[in-house]
Amino acid sequence: MPSISTHNLVVEFGGTSILHGIDLDIPAGEWLNIIGPNGAGKTTLLRSLLGTIDHGGRIEFGGAVVDKPQDRARILAYVPQSPVIPPGMFVADYVMLGRTPHRGVFGRDSDTDLGVAVDVLTRLDLAGFAEREVRSLSGGERQRVVLARALAQQTDILLLDEPTTALDLGHQQDVLDLVDDLRRERGLTVVATLHDLTLAARYGDRISVIADGRIVESGTSTEVLTTETIAKHFGANVRIIDDPDGPVIVPATTDRSRS
């Protein structure tokens, strides 16, 4: 049974349709990347799965509808593109927020909770920042802290909205490699939105292209990432280099010497 299923998912804001009848089946343990131009509905789709915006249609997790926010928080963790960080929040305390669905808002931190937080901070190379205020960190460091909070939830499903934003190349690879390692260790289902098409090709199992609020292409990276598809939906002229680790997408420069 798919880990996530959406049936005729629709979203409207102020009378404007954002998502138009999205149907998805994402098997347990799969990593699906959602790509598309700005404004296509990628973040809206993730927020619909999270349950933070009103939507029509049906969303099922493991074949069941999960309506209560705390129940969803036990199975879904979310890394937003632009997280809101409370002022004065220390890194260790922020990461411990990921344990709230398991112990309740007023529950005390257990040894298990502390152990999970320490493990995640260590894996993301953040242990030395535990007593720093989150807002004092660089953009890339802050992004890793937000991911650490999500991983501390220990959910079966991880939703990532542009998880490599503000990260340098090395940490982009570190973060995505860590997500992939945890996916294989724990059988995580991952749904990520990515702007970088080469990263989308190299990480994950499948890619779905969303344009104008509709899924217009789905398949493996080699099936989906073609020059024709990229030109049609992104308005970009590119070259695709065949590489053993997945397609590499680079801009096709114009030969100005002929002009």
Per DSSP (E only), the strands in 36-167 are 56-61, 76-79, 157-161
Question: Is the pLDDT score of 135 beyond 60?
Answer: yes
- How high does pLDDT run on average in the chain? 90
pLDDT-based confidence at 255, cuts 50/70/90?
low
Is 120 within a domain? no
Band of the pLDDT at 259, cuts 50, 70, 90?
Answer: very low
8 A C-beta contact, residue 10 and residue 56: yes
pLDDT > 90? residue 203: yes
Is 60 exceeded by the pLDDT of residue 256?
no
Q: Is residue 176 part of a domain?
A: yes
When mean pLDDT is compared over 52-66, 100-114, 133-147, the highest value belongs to: 52-66
Q: For tokens 């490599």, what's the residue?
A: 164
Q: Is 236 helix (H, G, I), strand (E, B) or coil?
A: coil
Q: How far apart are CA 245 and CA 49, in angstroms?
A: 30
Domain carrying residue 216? 4-81+155-258
Q: How many domains does the chain have?
A: 1
- The string of DSSP codes covering 72-89 is HHHHEEEE-SS----TT-
If we measure between CA atoms, which residue out of 238, 188, 232, 183 comes closest to residue 209? 232
Distance of CA 67 to the CA centre of its chain: 21
Tens of pLDDT along 48-96?
999 999 999 999 999 999 988 888 999 999 999 888 888 999 999 999 9
Q: Is residue 112 part of a domain?
A: no
Is 127 among the domain residues?
no
**pLDDT for the residue 105:** 61
Q: Tell whether 118 is covered by a domain.
A: no
Partners of 191 in beta bridges:
32, 159
CATH code for position 244: 3.40.50.300
CA-wise closest residue to 210 among 14, 27, 19: 19
